[in-house]
Each structure stands twice: as structure tokens, then as C-alpha cells.
């Protein structure tokens, strides 16, 4: 249970419920691509295609992958990993899907009767279903492989029965399935630990791993439709084939060991000697039944799913990790990205350029290119990753002179357009010069005989020189939390104090606060010569550009991720312990009425305060006295990152998995109007 702070005079939360909910017209603006967990195609071709994601979303293309749209969501959880999508050969509008969940108690087998728009749980609710197969000779038979066993439905999913022994030491943790194309009672099942087979519909099971390396996680199984004794398997130990129904296996050679993690091993439906091995280090191809293999993509591609057109087998569709959909029309010789309408990016941070509203910069996790920039309102994106030697930056900022990035280990980088790369910003360090060694001359050196002579005058003491300060330039190394800008000075809030630059970020020096010593600064705000800085326990204020400071106590400890803003006479503090407002420059604080204390982000756009919480977006037109719930971007659980852009109240929101969305917030209690800002893709046409 979260603590409240009654001494701050908390507002009545009931005031929130009385406000009308605002509905925003959100528009997706990319970046395109992302993770494709599974691919499905309507039987007989590749015109109708479906993408399954790792958060329950299903995307649809009815033109062979040229354009995609978000069809619907499987389940109510945002951690449903869609492992399989099947299209019923009797009705192409009917889809079946399997899923498992990362943290919640979801998972199961699902059915859609409208091309993936709406889904209903069909069976095995709460089971982690890792594989789902449809009997080629009887589409009414479905087989599901779960963490606990193998299940079968004889009536297209209406009822299910367990066909593997319960609580068996080895018949569990199923990861792959294949059904004999002529006999639905012959089933192959791969586990996290070797494959098994039944020929009597599950009454008896036998291990089939002779010739396969021990402790092999069998990730895919398939049966040659021309010869049901010819079986293929991919495992973490390599790729295998069997010509006797799995009794013995022969390991394919010619693929490097680092590519052994083959997610799928797929036979060309037209040319049976041609096989594709979809691995986490690229796509491998053989045209002579495995005698020789060649890498037909970059080894940086991680292939999670593959579909081959059954009529034109030169058409190969790849579902990748990070890159989205890649399509080859010539059997893997060349590829083109095909992600129009499919955006499934994981955005870690976002910067918008107030001087050029059509520009934005995003930081991606789990991406080959960790930083992408758009200069045309999201129509196109290009990578800006050269010089990022320590991976994705933890923060990015739009300075008056271009992009800045704060790497996770520390420091500050500036994107240099002339070099097309990120370059390090520097810090000015002043240290006392080393004291020179004492100089012994004949005039000052005395002997023992001279010392004993009363007539010898005593030498005069040399004047003590003030230590000389030596200035040196070194790369800035402090961990940067925030950067703010004015015409005369830039300030960086870091874990090693507040830094200031008077030369547009080329060099930085520490500016002392009222608290002595090195103090971590969580956030900053600047308005002319007025500067505010948030430390763990105080709000520091300077009215003279940072030369002198006064401090006031904060209502709660400001940890990493705290946000500070000023609107009118109100100082706004958002943190993981609530939203607080001060109307007397920080002398006293009041906690604002929000149903969720943990604030993930805060912006002020056209005098409207917008906060992102774990339960959604909220807006206030009166500096936090009252709030209105804003609609989330489509199918997004939360939007932990929000940024203003443009001259009005346009807002960009970053979904954890769905990329960027844009809306115009005209009033906290009014229906939003579609944004005609340059971030509206339609405005560019």
C-alpha cells in the first residue's frame, strides 16, 4: 500500500472522478519496424498475412505485406506473447492463435472470426501455450503444446483433452509441434529437452533423440508433405533431419556453431531440396538438401519467423527481431523492408526540437540502430548512431544548436552534422599547480660555522606565493540527468552536481549550490536568469543565472526520474512518490489529487500540465488542482514518455512497444482535435 502525505493537505481525490474524460485523436508517427514474434498466412498464398507480437497485438496485411494495420489484441494482458497464428483453410476469416505471458496469468488458445479484429479465448486459459498446430488432413483437430503438457481438440477448439501424461518428468515444457500430414494420430513434440513422438493420438509416447545432442531445446519440427517419414528439427545444438520418422537423426553441417540457435527450419514447398534455417544470426539456405549452406542475410539479423509462398517459393517473408518484416522476391538474394503501418518499437527516450517541430529524436532499446531521427514529421527516419560507443544513451535533449545525448556510463555527447557522428563534450577543471621544490642557493645556504657567528645576519624569510590554478580540459564524465537552456547559459543536472556552460555546450564547469560538497542534481529548469535545481532533498533557486543560490526543502525525496517545471506562479514537482505544487517558490507544498502516485513523465504544453502515470495520462489546466483523464494512444497500456512539440499544444507520446503517437491537446476537459502539425503524416501528402 502506498503512503500518503497528510501533512501536505492532500486534495480530495473525488474531485478527479467528477471531471469528464477527454478523448484524443491519436495518430501513429513511427518509427516503423520492430519485433515480429510470429507470422501467419492464409493457405494458398501470401496475400493475407498476420503478425503476432510479444504484447498481444495482431497486425494484418491484405496486400502481401505492402501495408499493415493493427487488427486487434489477444487477451487483456499486455505481456501476451503470440507464439503462433493459424488461418483456417475452411474460412480465411477465421484465425487461431496461441500465447503465453511473461508475468501475468494469461495465455491460452484464441479464436477470431473477423480477420483478427476481435479475439475470444478458445481454451487452455492460463496455460503457457508455446506451440499450436492444425492437422493437415483434418482441420478440426488442433494440438497445443504447453509448459505442462500436450492437449488436443477434435472440435476446432471447443473442448480440449490432455494427451500427454500429467506430471511426467520429461513430457513437459513443450516448445514445438508437428503433425503427420496423412495421420493426425502421429504427432511430434519438441521440449526444452529433446523430442518425443506418439503414433496413437497420445496414448503412448516415445523419446526420439538418437543422433541428436543431449539436452537439446527443440525449437521447431516439420514433416515433409511428400514423405511423412522425412522429418526436420531445429535445436539449440544444431539442425537435424530424419528419414525414418525420427528414429534416428543426422545433423546438418556447414552452418557455424554461433548460428545453431535456429528458430525455424523450413522446407521450400516447391523445391524439396531447398531448406531455409532461420537463426538468431541470419538466414541460411541450402539448395541441395543440406550438403552446402550459404548465409543469405546479414548475420546481424535475428529471424524469429518465416513464411514461404506455396505457389511462388521465391517469395520469402521474414519476421525479424528489431527490423520488422523483410521480403525477398528472389529466394533470399535481395530484400526490402515492408513495414508501412507496422510500428512496434521500444522507445526509451524522446527529444523534440522546439525550433523545428518536424524534427524528433528517439532512443530505442533492443535495436540494431539505437538512435533514430526524423526531419519530416515521422514519414522517414534515419539512424544517428555513429560514435555511440556505450550503447543507447539514457537521455537525449534538443539544444539550440542540435542534439545532445547522455550516455549511460556518464558524460555528454553532441551530434556533429559535419562529421555525422556523436562527439564528446568537455569539462573545464581547475586544480592548484604543484608546489615547486625548494631552491638552495649560496646566498641562502648557511654552514655551521656561519650559524655560530654572531656577526652573520639571519636570512630573511621568502614571501609565500599564492598557489597557481591550472586549467585543464577533460571529457565530461558525470552522469547527466537533465539539461536546460537559455540564451546565456546551459545547465546540466548531473550526479556530480550542477554544471554550467557559457559557450553553447563546448565546455562545462561545476557551479556551486548552497549545499556544500558534491550534490547529485536530479532535474533543472531555467527561465531567463532564473534557475531552479532539484537535489535529493532540496529545491535550489538562483535569480542571477547561477551565481548565488537559496534552498527550500522538498516534500519528498527526489530520486532518479524526478521532473521539474514552472507554470505561472506554480512550481511543479513530479516524482515516483506523487505530484506536488508550490505557489510560494518552494516554501510550502501541496500534493495534487492523482489516483496514481508514481509519475513517469511531465510536460507543460500551452499552459496545460500533462503527466504520465502507470495507469494512464492526465491533464490539468489549473496547475494540478483538478485533473482530466486523457485517452491513451490506441492499444497502448501506458505512455511513459510524453513531450510537447510545435507552437501549440501538440503532444507526442511514446508507447513502450508501439512507437510514437501524436495528438493535439486543446483543453484538458474538451475533445481533442486532429493535429495538423507537421508530425501528422497526412499533412505531408
Q: What is the DSSP string of 221-251?
A: EEE-TT-TT-EEEEETTEEEEESSTTSS-EE
What's the rounded Cα separation, in Å, for the pair 605 and 665? 8
pLDDT for residue 57 is more than 50 = yes
What's the rounded Cα separation, in Å, for the pair 422 and 415? 4
What's the rounded Cα separation, in Å, for the pair 466 and 474? 25
pLDDT-derived band at 663, boundaries 50, 70, 90: confident
pLDDT-derived band at 459, boundaries 50, 70, 90: low
Predicted confidence at residue 109, as pLDDT, reads 97
Compare 499 and 259 and report the one with higher pLDDT.
499
What's the rounded Cα separation, in Å, for the pair 219 and 199? 21
Residue 122: all three cell numbers together: 478458445
Tally of CB atoms within 10 A around 199:
15
Q: Evaluate the omega torsion of the peptide bond into residue 31 and state whether it is cis, within 30 degrees of 0.
A: yes
pLDDT-derived band at 388, boundaries 50, 70, 90: very high
Q: What is the DSSP string of 82-119?
A: EEEEEE-TT-TT-EEEEEEESSSS--EEEEESSTTSS-
Helix (H, G, I), strand (E, B) or coil at 682: helix
Using one digit for the tens of pLDDT, what is the confidence trace for 203-212? 999 999 999 9
**Cβ atoms of 74 and 40 closer than 8 Å:** no
Termini Cα distance of the chain: 51
Q: Residue 450 is inside which H or E element, if any?
A: helix 448-451
Q: What is the 3-state secondary structure (H, E, C) of 480-513?
A: EEEEEECCCCEEEEECCEEEEECCCCCEEEECCC
What's the rounded Cα separation, in Å, for the pair 586 and 551? 8
pLDDT for residue 188 is more than 80 = yes
Predicted confidence at residue 571, as pLDDT, reads 95
**What mean pLDDT comes out for the span 337-342?**
94
Weakest-pLDDT range from 98-107, 275-284, 302-311, 646-655:
646-655
What's the rounded Cα separation, in Å, for the pair 136 and 224? 12
**What mean pLDDT comes out for the span 446-470?**
54
Q: Are strands 371-374 and 360-364 parallel, antiparallel or unpaired?
A: antiparallel
pTM of the entire predicted model: 0.82
Predicted confidence at residue 368, as pLDDT, reads 86
Predicted confidence at residue 213, as pLDDT, reads 87
Of the chain, the percentage scoring pLDDT greater than 70 comes to: 87
128 CB-near residues (< 8 Å, 6+ apart) = 100, 101, 107, 146, 147, 148
**If we measure between CA atoms, which residue out of 343, 323, 326, 322 comes closest to residue 31?**
343
Using one digit for the tens of pLDDT, what is the confidence trace for 220-271? 999 999 999 999 999 888 899 999 999 999 999 888 765 568 999 999 999 9
Q: Which residues pair with 38 in a beta bridge?
A: 52
Tally of CB atoms within 10 A around 336:
10
Compare 414 and 647 and report the one with higher pLDDT.
414
**Cβ atoms of 548 and 572 closer than 8 Å:** no
- Rounded to 5°, angle at Cα 467 from 462 and 468: 120
**If we measure between CA atoms, which residue out of 565, 539, 543, 563 comes closest to residue 552?**
539
Using one digit for the tens of pLDDT, what is the confidence trace for 516-535? 888 999 999 999 999 999 99
Predicted confidence at residue 121, as pLDDT, reads 96
Q: What is the DSSP string of 522-558?
A: EEEEEETTEEEEEESSEEEEESSTTSS-EEEE-SS--
Q: What is the 3-state secondary structure (H, E, C) of 274-308?
A: CEEEEECCEEEEECCCCCCCEECCCCCCEEEEEEE
pLDDT-derived band at 366, boundaries 50, 70, 90: confident
**If we measure between CA atoms, which residue out of 310, 349, 343, 315 comes closest to residue 329?**
315
Q: Residue 16 is inside which H or E element, if any?
A: helix 14-17
**If we measure between CA atoms, which residue out of 7, 13, 3, 2 comes closest to residue 592?**
13
Using one digit for the tens of pLDDT, what is the confidence trace for 156-168? 999 999 999 999 9
Q: Are strands 371-374 and 599-605 parallel, antiparallel or unpaired?
A: unpaired
Burial 43-53 (b: 16+ CB within 10 A, else e): eeebebbbbbb
What's the rounded Cα separation, in Å, for the pair 620 and 617? 10
What's the rounded Cα separation, in Å, for the pair 610 and 596? 14
What's the rounded Cα separation, in Å, for the pair 16 and 298? 53
Q: Which residues pair with 633 in a beta bridge?
A: none
Predicted confidence at residue 666, as pLDDT, reads 63
Weakest-pLDDT range from 35-49, 181-195, 414-428, 663-677:
663-677
Using one digit for the tens of pLDDT, what is the confidence trace for 419-428? 999 999 999 8
Predicted confidence at residue 647, as pLDDT, reads 63
Query: Locate cell 656577526: which residue?
Result: 455
Predicted confidence at residue 648, as pLDDT, reads 61
Predicted confidence at residue 632, as pLDDT, reads 82
Predicted confidence at residue 670, as pLDDT, reads 39
**What mean pLDDT comes out for the span 365-387?**
92
Mean pLDDT of the chain: 87
Using one digit for the tens of pLDDT, what is the confidence trace for 614-649? 888 999 999 999 999 888 887 676 788 999 887 666
352 CB-near residues (< 8 Å, 6+ apart) = 359, 360, 361, 398, 643, 644, 645, 652
pLDDT for residue 566 is more than 60 = yes
Measuring CA to CA, how many Å separate 70 from each of 42, 212, 343, 657? 17, 41, 9, 13
**What mean pLDDT comes out for the span 122-132?**
96
pLDDT for residue 350 is more than 70 = yes
pLDDT for residue 430 is more than 80 = no
Amino acid at each position: 500500500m502506498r503512503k500518503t502525505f497528510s501533512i501536505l493537505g492532500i486534495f480530495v481525490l473525488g474531485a478527479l472522478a467528477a471531471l469528464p474524460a477527454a478523448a484524443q485523436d491519436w495518430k501513429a508517427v513511427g518509427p516503423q519496424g520492430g519485433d515480429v514474434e510470429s507470422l501467419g498466412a492464409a493457405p494458398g498464398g501470401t496475400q493475407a498475412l498476420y503478425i503476432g507480437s510479444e504484447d498481444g497485438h495482431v497486425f494484418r496485411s491484405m496486400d502481401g505485406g505492402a501495408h499493415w494495420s493493427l487488427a486487434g489484441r489477444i487477451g487483456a494482458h499486455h505481456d501476451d506473447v503470440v507464439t503462433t497464428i493459424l488461418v483456417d483453410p475452411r474460412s480465411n476469416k477465421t484465425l487461431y492463435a496461441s500465447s503465453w505471458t511473461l508475468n501475468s496469468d494469461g495465455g491460452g488458445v484464441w479464436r477470431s472470426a473477423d480477420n483478427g479484429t476481435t479475439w475470444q479465448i478458445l481454451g487452455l486459459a492460463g496455460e503457457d501455450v508455446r506451440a499450436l498446430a492444425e492437422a493437415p488432413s483434418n482441420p478440426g483437430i488442433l494440438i497445443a503444446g504447453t509448459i505442462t503438457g500436450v492437449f488436443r481438440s477434435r472440435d476446432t477448439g471447443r473442448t480440449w483433452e490432455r494427451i500427454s501424461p500429467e506430471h511426467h518428468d520429461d513430457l513437459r515444457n513443450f516448445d514445438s509441434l508437428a503433425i503427420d500430414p496423412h495421420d493426425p494420430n502421429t504427432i511430434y513434440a519438441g521440449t526444452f529437452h529433446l523430442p518425443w513422438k506418439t503414433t496413437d493420438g497420445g496414448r503412448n509416447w516415445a523419446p526420439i533423440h538418437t543422433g541428436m545432442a543431449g539436452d537439446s531445446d527443440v525449437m521447431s519440427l516439420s514433416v515433409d508433405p511428400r514423405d511423412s517419414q522425412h522429418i526436420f528439427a531445429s535445436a539449440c545444438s544444431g539442425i537435424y533431419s530424419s528419414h525414418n520418422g525420427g528414429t534416428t537423426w543426422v545433423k546438418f553441417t556447414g552452418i557455424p556453431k554461433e548460428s545453431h540457435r535456429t528458430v525455424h527450419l523450413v522446407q521450400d514447398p516447391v523445391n524439396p531440396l531447398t531448406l531455409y534455417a532461420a537463426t538468431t544470426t541470419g538466414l541460411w539456405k541450402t539448395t541441395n538438401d543440406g550438403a552446402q549452406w550459404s548465409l543469405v542475410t546479414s548475420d546481424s539479423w535475428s529471424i524469429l519467423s518465416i513464411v514461404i509462398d506455396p505457389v511462388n517459393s521465391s517469395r520469402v517473408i521474414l519476421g525479424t527481431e528489431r527490423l520488422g518484416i523483410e521480403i525477398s522476391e528472389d529466394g533470399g538474394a535481395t530484400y526490402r523492408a515492408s513495414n508501412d503501418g507496422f510500428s512496434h518499437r521500444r522507445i526509451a527516450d524522446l527529444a523534440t526540437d522546439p525550433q523545428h517541430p518536424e524534427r524528433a529524436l528517439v532512443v530505442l532499446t533492443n535495436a540494431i540502430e539505437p538512435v533514430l531521427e526524423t526531419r519530416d514529421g515521422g514519414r522517414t527516419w534515419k539512424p544517428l548512431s555513429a560514435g555511440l560507443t556505450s550503447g543507447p544513451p539514457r537521455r537525449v535533449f534538443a539544444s539550440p544548436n542540435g542534439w545532445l545525448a547522455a550516455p549511460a556510463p556518464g558524460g555528454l555527447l553532441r551530434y556533429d552534422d559535419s562529421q555525422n557522428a556523436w562527439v564528446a563534450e568537455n569539462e573545464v577543471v581547475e586544480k592548484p599547480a604543484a608546489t615547486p621544490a625548494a631552491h638552495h642557493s649560496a646566498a641562502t645556504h648557511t654552514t655551521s660555522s656561519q650559524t655560530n657567528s654572531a656577526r652573520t645576519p639571519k636570512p630573511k624569510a621568502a614571501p609565500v606565493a599564492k598557489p597557481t590554478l591550472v586549467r585543464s580540459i577533460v571529457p565530461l564524465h558525470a552522469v547527466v540527468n537533465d539539461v536546460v537552456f537559455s540564451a546565456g547559459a546551459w545547465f546540466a543536472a548531473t550526479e556530480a552536481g550542477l554544471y554550467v556552460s557559457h559557450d553553447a555546450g563546448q565546455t562545462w564547469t561545476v557551479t556551486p549550490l548552497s549545499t556544500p560538497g558534491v550534490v547529485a542534481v536530479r532535474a533543472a529548469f531555467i527561465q531567463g536568469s532564473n534557475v531552479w535545481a532539484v537535489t535529493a532533498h532540496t529545491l535550489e533557486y538562483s535569480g542571477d543565472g547561477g551565481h548565488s543560490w537559496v534552498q527550500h526543502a522538498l516534500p519528498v525525496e527526489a530520486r532518479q526520474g524526478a521532473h521539474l517545471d514552472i507554470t505561472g506562479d506554480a512550481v511543479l514537482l513530479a516524482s515516483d512518490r506523487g505530484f506536488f505544487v508550490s505557489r510560494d517558490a518552494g516554501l510550502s507544498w501541496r500534493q495534487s489529487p492523482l489516483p496514481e502516485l508514481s509519475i513517469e513523465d511531465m510536460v507543460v504544453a500551452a499552459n496545460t500540465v500533462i503527466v504520465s502515470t502507470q495507469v494512464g495520462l492526465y491533464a490539468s489546466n489549473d496547475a494540478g488542482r483538478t485533473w482530466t483523464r486523457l485517452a491513451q494512444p490506441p492499444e497502448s497500456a501506458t505512455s511513459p514518455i510524453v513531450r510537447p512539440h510545435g507552437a501549440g499544444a501538440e503532444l507526442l507520446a511514446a508507447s513502450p512497444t508501439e512507437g510514437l503517437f501524436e495528438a493535439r491537446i486543446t483543453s484538458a476537459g474538451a475533445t481533442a482535435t486532429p493535429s495538423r502539425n507537421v508530425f501528422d503524416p497526412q499533412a505531408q501528402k
